[in-house]
């Protein structure tokens, strides 16, 4: 149909009148009109922000004294005109643990000469450190403690892979829920070398300190309140000796494990059904729990796993982590194996090495274990409790508890508890509380 013919047809077609609807109620007619949307605010240009603040961010170099060369790199950002800068503890950990072998320096601009830096103070639990250069700086960040709304556009800065100062865009997603150690979720790329750098808003306000990444635009920041507290202490006590820093780390670890112990001891420890047994369930919200039963028709037995663990830990060195809580239950049962063959299987499960807290021989002693048969509310249990001591931090231990029920010939539960960085007394308190939950339903 041509356009002229279509127009003629439409002109002749009758138009049905629109029936008026019922009148609006007075309460609706009295409502004010919705406000006009605010004018769009353009986000700041990334290159303008970078040019404005790039001199506030520096590269941290850890120098091995004997060779005079770099052993690792990271980032830092200035927070005072007198040369104070914030970085991560894990960036400068070698200087804390081996001050006779390592020193720190800052590179203030690409191609610039390194400037010696002194380590003033650390917060090992929140992975922070304060360092200082002797010369004053003209440009630095003022630390605030205000979180932006979720979804705010952010910019992370640092020195990834020794490529020079870099800026990366991302998104603020608030504090991670049910986290053992406070972290901010940043949807952006934080690459190796950016640790210790700032993440900030388009106005140049620092939101957090870059600390870790899980790849795929999944980064983590330390909240600014911890950096502010550490900086205030470092400014108030400017003359801390290197040996004092090691003792300060020890005391921070002791204080943290005490808080964690009280938190666990005062929390209700729920019972998790596992076959005909009851085992410790999700003790506290910072633990993440999973369960699984592998299915293999060729295997004449079934083993159901239930495990819980904290997903964060405390970095002490490149080969030593602490502040860990984890446990694993294995319910084994068989309708095909006789008592003798099942006993052999069950013994093999008990003899498996549990997942241990990461540490080297330089960091911890060998485990010392004691094994005994105990009665847990009428349930016979074989238990082995093992402790190993921290060499650099006296009074702290890793604990492994292994326990197996002994009440049935073709079924049973094997369980293991791992604690990293607790006093011996607190580790035993928690292990006793853990065992008390085991029970059996006939």
Domain that holds residue 351: 251-440
Between CA 153 and CA 139 the distance in angstroms is 23
Give the least confident one: 10-14, 71-75, 95-99, 122-126. 10-14
412 and 377 part of one domain? yes
Confidence of residue 96 (pLDDT cuts 50, 70, 90): very high
Question: For position 437, what pLDDT does the model report?
Answer: 95
255 and 217 part of one domain? no
Question: For position 13, what pLDDT does the model report?
Answer: 47
217 and 273 part of one domain? no
Number of structural domains in the chain: 2
266 and 323 part of one domain? yes
pLDDT in tens, 367-411: 999 999 999 999 999 999 999 999 999 999 999 999 998 887 877
Identify the residue with better confidence: 410 or 120: 120
Between CA 316 and CA 250 the distance in angstroms is 10
430 and 320 part of one domain? yes
Give the least confident one: 17-31, 96-110, 314-328. 17-31
Question: For position 17, what pLDDT does the model report?
Answer: 52
Average pLDDT, the chain: 87
Between CA 216 and CA 167 the distance in angstroms is 17
Beta bridge partners of 332: 303, 412
Question: Is residue 23 included in any domain, yes or no?
Answer: no
pLDDT in tens, 235-248: 998 777 777 899 99
Residue 39 pLDDT more than 80? Answer: no
Question: Is residue 9 included in any domain, yes or no?
Answer: no
Domain boundary among 193, 209, 240: 240
Domain with residue 297: its CATH number is 3.40.1000
Residue 183 pLDDT more than 90? Answer: yes
Question: Is residue 80 included in any domain, yes or no?
Answer: yes
291 and 172 part of one domain? no
pLDDT in tens, 300-357: 778 899 999 998 899 999 999 999 999 999 988 887 777 777 787 777 777 777 667 8
229 and 108 part of one domain? yes
Q: What is the largest CA-CA distance in the chain?
A: 101
Confidence of residue 163 (pLDDT cuts 50, 70, 90): confident
308 and 422 part of one domain? yes
Question: Is residue 22 included in any domain, yes or no?
Answer: no
Question: Is residue 27 included in any domain, yes or no?
Answer: no
Question: For position 367, what pLDDT does the model report?
Answer: 94
Mean pLDDT of 358-369: 93
166 and 278 part of one domain? no
Domain boundary among 189, 213, 240: 240
236 and 272 part of one domain? no
Question: Is residue 34 included in any domain, yes or no?
Answer: no
Domain with residue 230: its CATH number is 2.40.10.120
HEC letters along the chain: CCHHHHHHHHHHCCCCCCCCCCCCCHHHHCCCCCCCCCCCCCCCCHHHHHHHHHHHEEEEEEEECCCCEEEEEEEEEECCCCCEEEECHHHHHHHHHCCCCEEEEEECCCCCCCEEEEEEEEECCCCEEEEECCCCCCCCCCCCCCCCCCCCEEEEEECHHHCCCEEEEEEEEEECCCCCCCCEEEECCCCCCCCCCEEECCCCCEEEEEEEEEECCEEEEEEHHHHHHHHHHHHHCCCCCHHHHHHHHHHHHHHHHHHHHHHHHHCCCCEEEECCEEEECCCCCCEEEEEECCCCCCCCCEEEEEEEEECCCEEEECCEEECEEEEEEEEEECCCCCHHHHHHHHHHHHHCCCCCCCCCCCCECCCEEEEEEEEECCEEEEEEEEEEEECCCCCCEEEEEEEEECCCCCEEEEEEEEEEEECHHHHHHHHHHHHCCCEECC
222 and 260 part of one domain? no
Domain boundary among 189, 220, 240: 240
Question: Is residue 8 included in any domain, yes or no?
Answer: no
Identify the residue with better confidence: 287 or 339: 287
Question: Is residue 62 included in any domain, yes or no?
Answer: yes
Between CA 309 and CA 279 the distance in angstroms is 15
Whole-prediction pTM value? 0.85
The answer to whether the beta carbons of residues 102 and 138 sit under 8 Å apart is no
Q: Which of 55, 102, 313 is nearest to 204 (CA)?
A: 55
Identify the residue with better confidence: 18 or 155: 155
Mean pLDDT of 182-199: 92
Cα 122 from chain centroid (whole Å): 18
102 and 136 part of one domain? yes
Identify the residue with better confidence: 352 or 280: 280
């Amino acid at each position: 149909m041509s356009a002229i013919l279509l127009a003629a047809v439409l002109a002749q077609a009758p138009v049905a009148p629109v029936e008026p609807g019922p009148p609006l109620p007075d309460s609706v007619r009295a409502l004010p009109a919705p406000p006009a949307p605010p004018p769009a605010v353009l986000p700041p240009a990334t290159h303008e922000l970078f040019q404005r603040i790039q001199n506030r961010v520096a590269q941290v170099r850890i120098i091995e004294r004997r060779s005079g060369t770099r052993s690792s790199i990271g980032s830092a950002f200035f927070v005072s005109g007198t040369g104070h800068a914030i970085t991560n503890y894990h960036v400068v950990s070698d200087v804390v643990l081996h001050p006779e072998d390592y020193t720190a320096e800052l590179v203030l601009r690409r191609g610039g000469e390194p400037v010696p830096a002194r380590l003033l103070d650390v917060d090992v639990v929140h992975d922070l450190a304060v360092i200082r250069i002797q010369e004053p700086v003209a440009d630095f960040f003022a630390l605030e403690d205000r979180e932006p709304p979720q979804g705010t556009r952010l910019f992370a800065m640092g020195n990834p892979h020794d490529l020079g100062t870099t800026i990366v865009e991302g998104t603020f997603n608030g504090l991670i829920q049910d986290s053992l150690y406070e972290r901010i979720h940043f949807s952006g790329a934080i690459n190796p070398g950016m640790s210790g750098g700032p993440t900030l808003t388009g106005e140049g306000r620092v939101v957090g300190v870059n600390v870790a990444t899980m790849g795929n635009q999944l980064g983590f920041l330390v909240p600014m309140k911890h950096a502010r507290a550490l900086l205030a202490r470092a400014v108030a006590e400017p003359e801390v000796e290197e040996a004092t820093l090691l003792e300060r780390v020890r005391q921070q670890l002791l204080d943290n494990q005490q808080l964690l112990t009280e938190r666990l001891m005062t929390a209700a420890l729920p019972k998790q059904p596992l076959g005909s047994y009851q085992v410790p369930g999700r003790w506290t919200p910072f633990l993440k729990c999973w369960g699984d039963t592998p299915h293999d028709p060729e295997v004449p037995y079934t083993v159901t796993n239930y495990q819980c663990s904290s997903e964060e830990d405390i970095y002490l060195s490149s080969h030593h982590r602490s502040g860990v809580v984890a446990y694993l239950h294995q319910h084994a049962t068989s309708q095909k194996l006789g008592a003798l063959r099942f006993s052999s299987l069950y013994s093999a499960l008990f003899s498996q090495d549990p997942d241990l807290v990461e540490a080297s021989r330089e960091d911890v002693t060998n485990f010392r274990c004691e094994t005994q048969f105990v009665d847990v509310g009428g349930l016979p249990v074989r238990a082995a409790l093992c402790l190993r001591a921290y060499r650099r931090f006296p009074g702290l231990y890793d604990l492994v508890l292994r326990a197996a029920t002994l009440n049935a010939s073709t079924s049973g539960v094997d369980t293991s508890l791992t604690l990293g960085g607790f006093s011996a007394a607190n580790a035993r308190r928690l292990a006793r509380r853990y065992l008390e939950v085991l029970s059996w339903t006939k």
